[in-house]
């Protein structure tokens, strides 16, 4: 894996952590390093603890976002 790819991935994960801090203020957010088994084997880059529940995220690069909001207000 190239240094450029690792650096890009780290920057994307840092940005994702900042976004999650805004969405889940006051909750514990953990970011796993590139070699961590949770990252390499389980696809977990970031975990957010909300009470007894952990939300796990894998961060991927993207160039644009298209959102759809359904009649109930859920965003996809």
Per-residue model confidence as pLDDT tens digits over 56-65: 999 988 777 7
Taking all residues of the chain, what is their mean pLDDT, rounded to a whole number?
A: 88
This prediction has a pTM of 0.73
**Can you tell me the mean pLDDT for 13-25?**
92
**Can you tell me the mean pLDDT for 28-45?**
89
φ and ψ of 4, to 5 deg: -60, -45
With a pLDDT cut of 90, the percent of the chain lying above it is 45
For the beta carbon of residue 20, count every other beta carbon within 10 angstroms: 19
């Amino acid at each position: 894996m190239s240094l450029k790819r690792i650096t890009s991935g780290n920057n994307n994960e840092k940005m994702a952590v900042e976004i999650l801090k805004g969405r889940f203020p006051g909750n514990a957010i953990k970011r796993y390093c590139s070699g961590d088994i949770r990252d390499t084997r389980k696809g977990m880059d970031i975990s957010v603890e909300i009470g007894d529940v952990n939300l796990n995220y894998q961060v991927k690069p993207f160039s644009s976002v298209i959102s759809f909001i359904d009649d109930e207000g859920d965003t996809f």
